[in-house]
Structures are given as C-alpha cells and as structure tokens.
Amino acid sequence: MSTVIEQAVEARLVAAAPRMPTIPATLHYDRRDPFAVRMSFPAPATLEGVEVYWTFARELLMDGVDRAVGDGDVRVRPYGFDRTVVEFHAPEGTAIVHIRTGELRRFLRRTTALVPVGREHRHVDLDQDLAELMRDAC
C-alpha cells in the first residue's frame, strides 16, 4: 500500500475583482508525516512564478469543513452549501481560495483510511526524526 495520497482539486481564488479564476492545486498527505497535509499551487498560479506550498494540520482541514477554525497562518471555514474557504496568511499578503467541500471530504476519507484519526502516533519515527534534527544542528 502506498504511503502517499495526492489529489488534484479545483480552487477558486478570491480576488478584489468580481471574477474568481480557477487555479489548480494539489492536496498531499504522507503517512510518514501523519499529522500534516500539504496544499501546493504550481508556479503559473502564483504571483512569484514559483511553486508555493503550505503545510498545516490535517485536523485543521477536518474541522474546517464543518466550522470556522484556525487563528494562525492557515484558517479554514465552510462557505455556503458546497464550498470551503481556506485562507493563507503571509507577510506578503493573504490568499483566499474556495474549494468544493466534497473534494476535501473525499481527500480526508482517503487519509483516514491510510492513517485513522487517533493512530497517527503509530506512524511517527521519533528516533529517525531526532537523528535528523541532531544532524541538522551540527
């Protein structure tokens, strides 16, 4: 069984203009980092012209499809019947995207099939992580 799940999603960027362009995004989950999800945007979809990705708690995304959560760099909340808003806050500004809630729920179901909620700790290799931290500190 694969240890990685990737799913393309269609995101709509909320901009100052009334038009909400569709931008491609990819949700990524790796069993080796079981508490986190990553959302990436390809270079053509970013202002900087380089791929941008955000890593945040899987729990934040799970909770955010049902209620407003987050008070840091990433915030998630339901929007209407079938959309979820994900806000990314950085010193350069804020990006707000709408994603179909059904797509997020499908992704989350796949992640919990791979690593059930509450069992994430079984997939963390603390010895390896500590060794990497120590190697990087030298």
What is the structure's pLDDT at 133? 61
User: Which DSSP state fits 87?
Assistant: E
Cα 88 to Cα 41: distance, rounded to the nearest angstrom: 12
Q: Does pTM top 0.85 for this prediction?
A: no
| Per-10-residue mean pLDDT, the chain, length 138 | 80 62 88 91 78 92 96 94 93 88 96 79 60 66
Pull the structure tokens for residue 105: 């729920």
What is the structure's pLDDT at 106? 96
Cα 14 to Cα 77: distance, rounded to the nearest angstrom: 14
